[in-house]
Amino acid sequence: MKGIMIQGTSSDAGKSFLATAFCRALANQKYKVCPFKSQNMSNNSYVTPDGLEMGRAQAVQAEAARLQPDVYMNPILLKPRKDTLSEIILLGKVYSTPDNGSNYFKNFTMGPGIATVRNSLAYIQNHYDLIVIEGAGSPAEINLNATEIVNMRIAREADVPVILVTDVDRGGSLASIVGTLTLLGEDRKRVKGIIFNKFRGDITLFEDAVRWIEDYTKIKVIGVMPYLKDVLIESEDSLSIDSGFRNSNANKVSIGIVKIPYVSNNTDIEPLRFENDIEIVFADKFTDFKKLDAVIIPGTKSTIQDMKYLHDSGIAKALKTFYENGGFIFGICGGYQMLGETIRDEMGIDNPSLKSIEGLGLLPVQTSFETAKTVNQVSGTLVFPGSESFHVSGYEIHFGKTEPVRLDCGHPLFMLNGHPDGFAVDSLRCSGTYLHNVFHNDGFRNLWLNLIRNQKQYPTQPEVNTEKIKELSYESLAKAAFDFLDMDYVLKLLKQE
Protein backbone atom coordinates (compact mmCIF):
# COMPACT_ATOMS: atom_id res chain seq x y z
CA MET A 1 0.00 0.00 0.00
CA LYS A 2 1.32 3.47 -0.84
CA GLY A 3 1.24 5.68 2.22
CA ILE A 4 2.75 6.68 5.54
CA MET A 5 1.85 6.29 9.18
CA ILE A 6 2.31 9.03 11.75
CA GLN A 7 3.02 7.82 15.27
CA GLY A 8 3.89 9.88 18.33
CA THR A 9 6.12 9.61 21.35
CA SER A 10 3.08 10.59 23.48
CA SER A 11 -0.51 11.73 23.33
CA ASP A 12 -0.99 15.26 21.96
CA ALA A 13 2.39 15.16 20.19
CA GLY A 14 0.73 16.44 17.03
CA LYS A 15 -0.24 13.28 15.11
CA SER A 16 -3.71 14.56 14.10
CA PHE A 17 -2.28 17.97 13.29
CA LEU A 18 0.42 16.59 10.98
CA ALA A 19 -1.94 14.09 9.37
CA THR A 20 -4.22 17.02 8.52
CA ALA A 21 -1.25 18.95 7.11
CA PHE A 22 -0.19 16.03 4.93
CA CYS A 23 -3.75 15.47 3.70
CA ARG A 24 -4.09 19.04 2.43
CA ALA A 25 -0.50 19.25 1.13
CA LEU A 26 -0.94 16.04 -0.87
CA ALA A 27 -4.42 16.97 -2.07
CA ASN A 28 -2.91 20.20 -3.39
CA GLN A 29 -0.46 18.03 -5.34
CA LYS A 30 -3.49 16.39 -7.03
CA TYR A 31 -3.19 13.10 -5.13
CA LYS A 32 -6.35 11.31 -4.07
CA VAL A 33 -5.27 10.88 -0.45
CA CYS A 34 -7.32 9.20 2.26
CA PRO A 35 -6.91 9.69 6.05
CA PHE A 36 -7.17 6.64 8.29
CA LYS A 37 -7.13 5.77 11.97
CA SER A 38 -8.08 2.19 12.76
CA GLN A 39 -9.30 2.83 16.30
CA ASN A 40 -10.02 6.14 17.96
CA MET A 41 -10.97 6.74 21.59
CA SER A 42 -12.84 10.00 21.91
CA ASN A 43 -16.19 11.41 22.91
CA ASN A 44 -15.92 13.93 20.08
CA SER A 45 -17.55 12.22 17.13
CA TYR A 46 -18.75 13.21 13.69
CA VAL A 47 -22.01 12.04 12.13
CA THR A 48 -21.98 11.18 8.42
CA PRO A 49 -24.90 12.02 6.11
CA ASP A 50 -26.16 8.43 6.47
CA GLY A 51 -26.28 8.72 10.28
CA LEU A 52 -23.07 6.87 11.17
CA GLU A 53 -20.52 7.92 13.80
CA MET A 54 -16.77 8.26 13.32
CA GLY A 55 -13.89 10.06 14.99
CA ARG A 56 -13.99 13.80 14.49
CA ALA A 57 -10.24 14.01 13.82
CA GLN A 58 -10.59 11.84 10.71
CA ALA A 59 -13.57 13.92 9.57
CA VAL A 60 -11.35 17.02 9.80
CA GLN A 61 -8.57 15.25 7.90
CA ALA A 62 -11.05 14.19 5.22
CA GLU A 63 -12.18 17.78 4.88
CA ALA A 64 -8.53 18.83 4.50
CA ALA A 65 -8.14 16.15 1.81
CA ARG A 66 -11.29 17.52 0.11
CA LEU A 67 -13.20 14.30 0.75
CA GLN A 68 -16.58 13.46 2.23
CA PRO A 69 -15.92 11.77 5.62
CA ASP A 70 -16.77 8.07 5.68
CA VAL A 71 -16.62 5.46 8.41
CA TYR A 72 -13.96 3.32 6.69
CA MET A 73 -11.56 6.18 7.54
CA ASN A 74 -12.12 5.33 11.23
CA PRO A 75 -13.75 1.89 11.44
CA ILE A 76 -13.59 1.63 15.26
CA LEU A 77 -14.57 4.40 17.64
CA LEU A 78 -14.47 3.86 21.40
CA LYS A 79 -16.60 6.31 23.38
CA PRO A 80 -16.08 6.19 27.16
CA ARG A 81 -19.47 6.46 28.85
CA LYS A 82 -18.58 6.06 32.51
CA ASP A 83 -15.53 5.06 34.53
CA THR A 84 -15.86 1.37 33.61
CA LEU A 85 -17.90 1.45 30.40
CA SER A 86 -17.05 2.26 26.81
CA GLU A 87 -19.36 2.22 23.84
CA ILE A 88 -17.86 0.41 20.83
CA ILE A 89 -18.84 1.98 17.51
CA LEU A 90 -18.03 -0.37 14.62
CA LEU A 91 -18.35 1.08 11.11
CA GLY A 92 -20.47 3.87 12.51
CA LYS A 93 -22.98 1.82 14.51
CA VAL A 94 -23.14 0.80 18.17
CA TYR A 95 -21.64 -2.68 18.42
CA SER A 96 -21.67 -3.14 22.19
CA THR A 97 -21.04 -1.41 25.52
CA PRO A 98 -18.76 -3.75 27.49
CA ASP A 99 -17.15 -3.26 30.88
CA ASN A 100 -13.60 -1.93 30.45
CA GLY A 101 -12.29 -4.41 33.03
CA SER A 102 -13.34 -7.54 31.14
CA ASN A 103 -11.52 -9.55 28.46
CA TYR A 104 -14.14 -8.44 25.98
CA PHE A 105 -11.91 -5.81 24.35
CA LYS A 106 -9.13 -8.32 23.76
CA ASN A 107 -11.53 -10.72 22.06
CA PHE A 108 -13.10 -7.88 20.10
CA THR A 109 -9.85 -6.37 18.83
CA MET A 110 -8.38 -9.71 17.79
CA GLY A 111 -11.67 -10.81 16.19
CA PRO A 112 -14.20 -8.49 14.52
CA GLY A 113 -12.05 -5.45 15.25
CA ILE A 114 -8.96 -6.36 13.24
CA ALA A 115 -11.10 -8.01 10.55
CA THR A 116 -13.01 -4.77 10.01
CA VAL A 117 -9.77 -2.78 9.97
CA ARG A 118 -8.34 -5.05 7.26
CA ASN A 119 -11.47 -4.67 5.16
CA SER A 120 -11.28 -0.88 5.50
CA LEU A 121 -7.62 -0.83 4.48
CA ALA A 122 -8.41 -2.98 1.44
CA TYR A 123 -11.19 -0.60 0.44
CA ILE A 124 -8.89 2.42 0.71
CA GLN A 125 -6.13 0.69 -1.27
CA ASN A 126 -8.59 0.02 -4.10
CA HIS A 127 -10.06 3.53 -4.21
CA TYR A 128 -7.28 6.00 -3.38
CA ASP A 129 -3.75 6.90 -4.50
CA LEU A 130 -2.26 7.34 -1.02
CA ILE A 131 -3.14 6.74 2.61
CA VAL A 132 -2.13 8.85 5.62
CA ILE A 133 -2.52 6.75 8.77
CA GLU A 134 -2.62 8.21 12.26
CA GLY A 135 -1.56 6.17 15.27
CA ALA A 136 -2.70 6.62 18.87
CA GLY A 137 -0.83 7.59 22.02
CA SER A 138 2.60 5.96 21.85
CA PRO A 139 3.65 2.79 20.00
CA ALA A 140 5.99 1.93 22.88
CA GLU A 141 3.33 0.75 25.35
CA ILE A 142 4.78 -2.75 25.59
CA ASN A 143 1.95 -3.98 27.83
CA LEU A 144 -0.46 -3.39 24.94
CA ASN A 145 1.62 -4.75 22.05
CA ALA A 146 -0.03 -8.17 21.97
CA THR A 147 -3.53 -6.81 21.34
CA GLU A 148 -3.12 -3.28 19.98
CA ILE A 149 -4.64 -2.57 16.57
CA VAL A 150 -3.79 1.09 16.17
CA ASN A 151 0.01 1.50 16.02
CA MET A 152 2.72 -0.86 14.75
CA ARG A 153 0.29 -3.70 13.99
CA ILE A 154 -1.43 -1.37 11.55
CA ALA A 155 1.89 -0.26 10.04
CA ARG A 156 2.61 -3.96 9.39
CA GLU A 157 -0.89 -4.63 8.04
CA ALA A 158 -0.67 -1.71 5.60
CA ASP A 159 3.08 -2.25 5.07
CA VAL A 160 3.85 1.47 5.27
CA PRO A 161 6.81 3.42 6.69
CA VAL A 162 6.38 5.26 9.97
CA ILE A 163 7.16 8.89 10.79
CA LEU A 164 7.68 9.48 14.51
CA VAL A 165 6.58 12.88 15.85
CA THR A 166 7.50 14.38 19.21
CA ASP A 167 6.33 17.48 21.08
CA VAL A 168 9.27 19.84 21.67
CA ASP A 169 7.16 22.30 23.64
CA ARG A 170 6.47 19.70 26.32
CA GLY A 171 10.19 19.15 26.98
CA GLY A 172 12.24 15.96 26.93
CA SER A 173 11.75 15.35 23.20
CA LEU A 174 15.21 13.83 22.61
CA ALA A 175 14.79 11.34 25.44
CA SER A 176 11.26 10.48 24.31
CA ILE A 177 12.50 9.68 20.80
CA VAL A 178 15.39 7.53 22.00
CA GLY A 179 13.20 5.77 24.57
CA THR A 180 10.42 5.08 22.08
CA LEU A 181 12.80 3.69 19.47
CA THR A 182 14.49 1.50 22.08
CA LEU A 183 11.21 -0.09 23.09
CA LEU A 184 10.02 -0.77 19.54
CA GLY A 185 12.20 -3.82 19.01
CA GLU A 186 11.94 -5.20 15.47
CA ASP A 187 9.37 -2.55 14.54
CA ARG A 188 12.06 0.12 14.90
CA LYS A 189 13.14 -0.57 11.33
CA ARG A 190 9.79 0.76 10.09
CA VAL A 191 10.57 4.25 11.45
CA LYS A 192 11.92 6.17 8.46
CA GLY A 193 11.68 9.72 9.70
CA ILE A 194 11.39 11.98 12.77
CA ILE A 195 9.54 15.26 13.13
CA PHE A 196 10.01 17.68 16.00
CA ASN A 197 6.71 19.50 16.51
CA LYS A 198 5.59 22.68 18.32
CA PHE A 199 9.00 24.37 18.43
CA ARG A 200 9.01 27.93 19.79
CA GLY A 201 11.77 30.42 19.01
CA ASP A 202 14.71 30.40 16.60
CA ILE A 203 14.82 27.01 14.87
CA THR A 204 18.54 27.43 14.11
CA LEU A 205 19.17 27.05 17.85
CA PHE A 206 17.86 23.50 17.57
CA GLU A 207 20.23 22.40 14.81
CA ASP A 208 22.67 20.68 17.19
CA ALA A 209 19.83 18.58 18.59
CA VAL A 210 18.77 17.58 15.08
CA ARG A 211 22.30 16.54 14.15
CA TRP A 212 22.69 14.58 17.38
CA ILE A 213 19.44 12.64 17.01
CA GLU A 214 20.22 11.77 13.37
CA ASP A 215 23.71 10.60 14.31
CA TYR A 216 22.50 8.62 17.33
CA THR A 217 19.45 6.96 15.77
CA LYS A 218 20.60 6.83 12.10
CA ILE A 219 17.10 8.04 11.18
CA LYS A 220 16.47 11.17 9.11
CA VAL A 221 14.91 14.20 10.78
CA ILE A 222 12.28 15.30 8.27
CA GLY A 223 11.96 18.71 9.86
CA VAL A 224 11.19 20.92 12.83
CA MET A 225 7.64 22.25 12.76
CA PRO A 226 7.15 25.53 14.65
CA TYR A 227 4.32 26.19 17.08
CA LEU A 228 1.59 27.40 14.71
CA LYS A 229 -0.68 29.26 17.12
CA ASP A 230 -2.68 31.01 14.40
CA VAL A 231 -3.66 27.82 12.56
CA LEU A 232 -7.15 27.07 13.87
CA ILE A 233 -7.76 23.35 13.36
CA GLU A 234 -10.26 21.54 15.58
CA SER A 235 -8.71 19.77 18.55
CA GLU A 236 -9.24 16.00 18.68
CA ASP A 237 -10.35 16.02 22.31
CA SER A 238 -10.45 18.03 25.53
CA LEU A 239 -6.75 17.36 26.22
CA SER A 240 -5.93 20.13 23.76
CA ILE A 241 -8.50 22.77 24.70
CA ASP A 242 -8.98 22.53 28.47
CA SER A 243 -6.81 25.61 29.01
CA GLY A 244 -9.42 27.82 27.33
CA PHE A 245 -8.85 30.81 25.08
CA ARG A 246 -7.78 34.07 26.72
CA ASN A 247 -8.46 37.52 25.25
CA SER A 248 -7.01 40.94 26.07
CA ASN A 249 -9.70 42.94 24.25
CA ALA A 250 -11.02 45.73 26.51
CA ASN A 251 -14.58 44.94 25.43
CA LYS A 252 -14.20 41.18 25.69
CA VAL A 253 -17.11 38.84 26.33
CA SER A 254 -16.18 36.17 28.87
CA ILE A 255 -17.85 32.79 28.32
CA GLY A 256 -17.52 29.93 30.77
CA ILE A 257 -17.68 26.28 29.82
CA VAL A 258 -18.97 24.23 32.73
CA LYS A 259 -16.43 21.49 33.51
CA ILE A 260 -18.25 18.19 33.95
CA PRO A 261 -16.71 14.73 34.44
CA TYR A 262 -18.27 13.04 31.39
CA VAL A 263 -18.05 15.84 28.84
CA SER A 264 -18.48 14.93 25.17
CA ASN A 265 -18.41 16.75 21.84
CA ASN A 266 -16.84 19.83 23.37
CA THR A 267 -15.57 20.74 19.91
CA ASP A 268 -18.97 22.46 19.73
CA ILE A 269 -17.34 25.50 21.32
CA GLU A 270 -14.34 25.77 18.99
CA PRO A 271 -15.84 28.33 16.54
CA LEU A 272 -15.90 30.81 19.43
CA ARG A 273 -12.12 31.01 19.00
CA PHE A 274 -12.67 32.74 15.67
CA GLU A 275 -14.27 35.77 17.36
CA ASN A 276 -11.81 38.55 18.22
CA ASP A 277 -13.56 39.67 21.40
CA ILE A 278 -14.41 36.33 23.04
CA GLU A 279 -12.64 34.78 26.01
CA ILE A 280 -13.27 31.16 26.98
CA VAL A 281 -12.65 29.90 30.51
CA PHE A 282 -13.48 26.55 32.08
CA ALA A 283 -15.63 26.93 35.17
CA ASP A 284 -15.80 24.39 38.00
CA LYS A 285 -15.99 26.58 41.14
CA PHE A 286 -18.69 28.86 42.52
CA THR A 287 -16.39 31.88 42.23
CA ASP A 288 -15.67 31.22 38.54
CA PHE A 289 -19.17 32.36 37.54
CA LYS A 290 -18.93 35.85 39.05
CA LYS A 291 -16.68 37.13 36.25
CA LEU A 292 -18.61 35.57 33.35
CA ASP A 293 -21.08 37.03 30.88
CA ALA A 294 -22.38 33.72 29.57
CA VAL A 295 -22.13 30.02 30.36
CA ILE A 296 -22.30 26.98 28.08
CA ILE A 297 -23.14 23.54 29.48
CA PRO A 298 -21.66 21.09 26.94
CA GLY A 299 -22.71 17.60 25.95
CA THR A 300 -22.11 14.63 28.21
CA LYS A 301 -21.95 10.84 28.00
CA SER A 302 -23.80 10.56 31.32
CA THR A 303 -26.37 13.28 31.87
CA ILE A 304 -27.59 11.96 35.23
CA GLN A 305 -24.07 11.48 36.63
CA ASP A 306 -23.06 14.98 35.58
CA MET A 307 -26.31 16.49 36.88
CA LYS A 308 -25.64 14.82 40.21
CA TYR A 309 -22.11 16.27 40.13
CA LEU A 310 -23.50 19.77 39.55
CA HIS A 311 -25.84 19.41 42.54
CA ASP A 312 -23.21 17.88 44.86
CA SER A 313 -20.50 20.40 43.95
CA GLY A 314 -22.70 23.47 44.38
CA ILE A 315 -22.30 24.42 40.72
CA ALA A 316 -26.04 23.94 40.12
CA LYS A 317 -26.79 26.60 42.72
CA ALA A 318 -24.10 28.84 41.23
CA LEU A 319 -25.65 28.50 37.78
CA LYS A 320 -29.10 29.45 39.06
CA THR A 321 -27.67 32.49 40.83
CA PHE A 322 -25.73 33.41 37.68
CA TYR A 323 -28.91 33.32 35.62
CA GLU A 324 -30.93 35.27 38.23
CA ASN A 325 -28.26 37.98 38.08
CA GLY A 326 -28.70 38.42 34.32
CA GLY A 327 -26.24 35.95 32.82
CA PHE A 328 -26.79 34.01 29.60
CA ILE A 329 -26.88 30.19 29.73
CA PHE A 330 -26.81 27.83 26.77
CA GLY A 331 -27.04 24.02 26.92
CA ILE A 332 -26.06 21.56 24.17
CA CYS A 333 -27.45 18.01 24.09
CA GLY A 334 -26.88 16.68 27.64
CA GLY A 335 -26.40 20.29 28.73
CA TYR A 336 -29.86 21.06 27.32
CA GLN A 337 -31.31 18.11 29.25
CA MET A 338 -29.75 19.44 32.47
CA LEU A 339 -31.38 22.86 31.99
CA GLY A 340 -34.82 21.27 32.31
CA GLU A 341 -36.94 20.44 35.33
CA THR A 342 -36.46 16.67 35.58
CA ILE A 343 -34.46 13.90 33.95
CA ARG A 344 -36.01 10.42 34.09
CA ASP A 345 -34.30 7.13 33.33
CA GLU A 346 -36.73 4.38 34.28
CA MET A 347 -34.91 1.79 32.14
CA GLY A 348 -31.46 2.54 33.53
CA ILE A 349 -30.00 3.51 30.16
CA ASP A 350 -27.92 6.43 31.41
CA ASN A 351 -27.55 5.35 35.03
CA PRO A 352 -28.88 2.02 36.37
CA SER A 353 -28.77 3.19 40.00
CA LEU A 354 -30.52 6.56 39.69
CA LYS A 355 -33.90 6.55 37.96
CA SER A 356 -34.65 10.25 38.21
CA ILE A 357 -32.93 13.50 39.11
CA GLU A 358 -33.95 17.12 39.38
CA GLY A 359 -32.52 19.39 36.68
CA LEU A 360 -31.60 23.05 36.97
CA GLY A 361 -35.21 24.07 36.36
CA LEU A 362 -34.28 26.97 34.08
CA LEU A 363 -36.23 25.66 31.08
CA PRO A 364 -39.80 24.28 31.25
CA VAL A 365 -38.87 20.92 29.74
CA GLN A 366 -38.37 17.37 30.97
CA THR A 367 -36.30 14.49 29.59
CA SER A 368 -37.03 10.76 29.50
CA PHE A 369 -34.35 8.31 28.36
CA GLU A 370 -35.23 5.75 25.70
CA THR A 371 -33.40 2.69 24.39
CA ALA A 372 -33.18 4.02 20.84
CA LYS A 373 -30.16 6.19 20.10
CA THR A 374 -30.74 9.19 17.83
CA VAL A 375 -27.84 9.67 15.39
CA ASN A 376 -28.39 11.80 12.29
CA GLN A 377 -27.50 14.95 10.45
CA VAL A 378 -30.16 17.65 10.68
CA SER A 379 -30.90 21.07 9.25
CA GLY A 380 -33.57 23.69 9.63
CA THR A 381 -34.26 27.23 10.77
CA LEU A 382 -34.07 29.39 13.89
CA VAL A 383 -37.32 30.11 15.75
CA PHE A 384 -36.83 33.50 17.42
CA PRO A 385 -39.63 36.11 17.38
CA GLY A 386 -38.39 39.44 16.06
CA SER A 387 -35.37 37.99 14.27
CA GLU A 388 -34.91 36.95 10.69
CA SER A 389 -35.17 33.21 10.18
CA PHE A 390 -31.93 31.74 8.91
CA HIS A 391 -30.62 28.28 8.11
CA VAL A 392 -28.82 26.09 10.64
CA SER A 393 -27.34 22.60 10.31
CA GLY A 394 -25.44 20.08 12.39
CA TYR A 395 -26.05 16.67 13.88
CA GLU A 396 -27.72 14.90 16.79
CA ILE A 397 -26.28 12.11 18.97
CA HIS A 398 -28.32 11.34 22.05
CA PHE A 399 -30.43 8.94 24.05
CA GLY A 400 -33.67 10.32 25.37
CA LYS A 401 -36.45 12.67 24.38
CA THR A 402 -36.98 16.16 25.75
CA GLU A 403 -40.42 17.74 25.71
CA PRO A 404 -41.85 21.03 27.02
CA VAL A 405 -44.12 20.91 30.06
CA ARG A 406 -45.36 24.46 29.44
CA LEU A 407 -45.47 26.64 26.32
CA ASP A 408 -46.63 29.90 27.89
CA CYS A 409 -43.17 31.19 28.81
CA GLY A 410 -40.97 30.31 25.84
CA HIS A 411 -40.70 28.63 22.46
CA PRO A 412 -38.72 25.99 20.56
CA LEU A 413 -35.27 27.21 19.52
CA PHE A 414 -35.12 25.56 16.09
CA MET A 415 -37.19 23.66 13.59
CA LEU A 416 -34.96 20.76 12.48
CA ASN A 417 -35.98 18.31 9.76
CA GLY A 418 -39.53 19.57 10.19
CA HIS A 419 -39.68 19.06 13.98
CA PRO A 420 -39.24 21.49 16.90
CA ASP A 421 -35.92 21.24 18.71
CA GLY A 422 -34.67 22.81 21.88
CA PHE A 423 -36.27 25.53 23.93
CA ALA A 424 -35.61 29.19 24.71
CA VAL A 425 -36.90 31.67 27.28
CA ASP A 426 -36.26 35.31 28.12
CA SER A 427 -35.13 36.34 24.61
CA LEU A 428 -32.57 33.51 24.37
CA ARG A 429 -31.00 34.37 27.73
CA CYS A 430 -31.54 30.72 28.61
CA SER A 431 -31.75 28.25 25.77
CA GLY A 432 -30.81 24.71 24.85
CA THR A 433 -30.71 22.39 21.87
CA TYR A 434 -29.81 18.87 20.75
CA LEU A 435 -28.01 20.42 17.75
CA HIS A 436 -24.29 19.68 17.84
CA ASN A 437 -22.21 22.13 15.77
CA VAL A 438 -24.75 24.79 16.72
CA PHE A 439 -22.02 27.44 17.02
CA HIS A 440 -20.53 26.37 13.69
CA ASN A 441 -23.55 28.16 12.20
CA ASP A 442 -22.18 31.67 11.72
CA GLY A 443 -25.55 33.43 11.68
CA PHE A 444 -26.81 31.89 14.92
CA ARG A 445 -23.47 32.30 16.72
CA ASN A 446 -23.38 35.98 15.72
CA LEU A 447 -26.98 36.54 16.85
CA TRP A 448 -26.38 34.94 20.26
CA LEU A 449 -23.09 36.74 20.87
CA ASN A 450 -24.53 40.10 19.83
CA LEU A 451 -27.36 39.66 22.36
CA ILE A 452 -24.66 39.34 25.04
CA ARG A 453 -22.71 42.29 23.62
CA ASN A 454 -25.88 44.40 23.65
CA GLN A 455 -26.49 43.58 27.29
CA LYS A 456 -22.96 44.71 28.14
CA GLN A 457 -23.41 47.80 25.94
CA TYR A 458 -20.53 46.73 23.74
CA PRO A 459 -20.56 47.32 19.96
CA THR A 460 -22.14 44.49 17.99
CA GLN A 461 -19.81 42.61 15.67
CA PRO A 462 -20.26 41.42 12.08
CA GLU A 463 -20.67 37.76 11.25
CA VAL A 464 -17.41 35.79 11.08
CA ASN A 465 -17.07 33.31 8.21
CA THR A 466 -15.77 30.16 9.89
CA GLU A 467 -15.57 28.13 6.67
CA LYS A 468 -13.23 30.71 5.18
CA ILE A 469 -11.06 30.66 8.32
CA LYS A 470 -10.91 26.85 8.29
CA GLU A 471 -9.94 26.80 4.63
CA LEU A 472 -7.18 29.36 5.22
CA SER A 473 -5.94 27.24 8.14
CA TYR A 474 -5.76 24.11 5.97
CA GLU A 475 -3.79 26.03 3.36
CA SER A 476 -1.48 27.47 6.04
CA LEU A 477 -0.85 23.93 7.29
CA ALA A 478 -0.01 22.72 3.79
CA LYS A 479 2.35 25.64 3.29
CA ALA A 480 4.04 24.96 6.65
CA ALA A 481 4.57 21.34 5.62
CA PHE A 482 6.51 22.46 2.54
CA ASP A 483 8.27 25.30 4.37
CA PHE A 484 9.54 23.31 7.37
CA LEU A 485 9.54 19.65 6.33
CA ASP A 486 11.42 17.75 3.63
CA MET A 487 8.34 16.98 1.57
CA ASP A 488 10.40 15.50 -1.26
CA TYR A 489 11.55 12.84 1.20
CA VAL A 490 7.97 12.34 2.44
CA LEU A 491 6.76 11.85 -1.14
CA LYS A 492 9.46 9.21 -1.70
CA LEU A 493 8.26 7.39 1.42
CA LEU A 494 4.66 7.60 0.26
CA LYS A 495 5.37 6.08 -3.12
CA GLN A 496 7.31 3.08 -1.87
CA GLU A 497 5.53 -0.22 -2.51
DSSP string, 361-411: -SSSEEEEEEEEEEEEEEEEEE--TTS---EEEEEEEEEEEEEES--SS-B
Within 13 Å of residue 367, how many CA atoms lie on the same side as its CB?
Answer: 33
Find the catalytic residue in 23, 34, 430, 436: 436
The length of the chain is 497
Q: Is 127 a catalytic residue?
A: no
- Catalytic pick among 23, 333, 398, 440: 333
What letter does residue 325 receive in the DSSP assignment?
Answer: T
Q: In terms of C-beta density within 10 A (0-12 exposed, 13-18 middle, 19 or more buried), how is residue 230 classed? A: exposed
The span from the CA of 177 to the CA of 166, in Å, is 7
Specify the amino acid at residue 446. Answer: N
Among candidates 111, 183, 136, 107, which has minimal Cα distance to 5?
Answer: 136
Active site residue 333: yes
Among residues 262, 257, 206, 196, which one has the least CA distance to residue 227? Answer: 196
With a CB cutoff of 8 Å and minimum separation 6, the contacts of 379 are: 391, 392, 393, 394, 416, 417
List beta partners, residue 453. none
DSSP β-ladder status, 365-382 and 342-344 = parallel
Q: Which residues are catalytic?
A: 333, 436
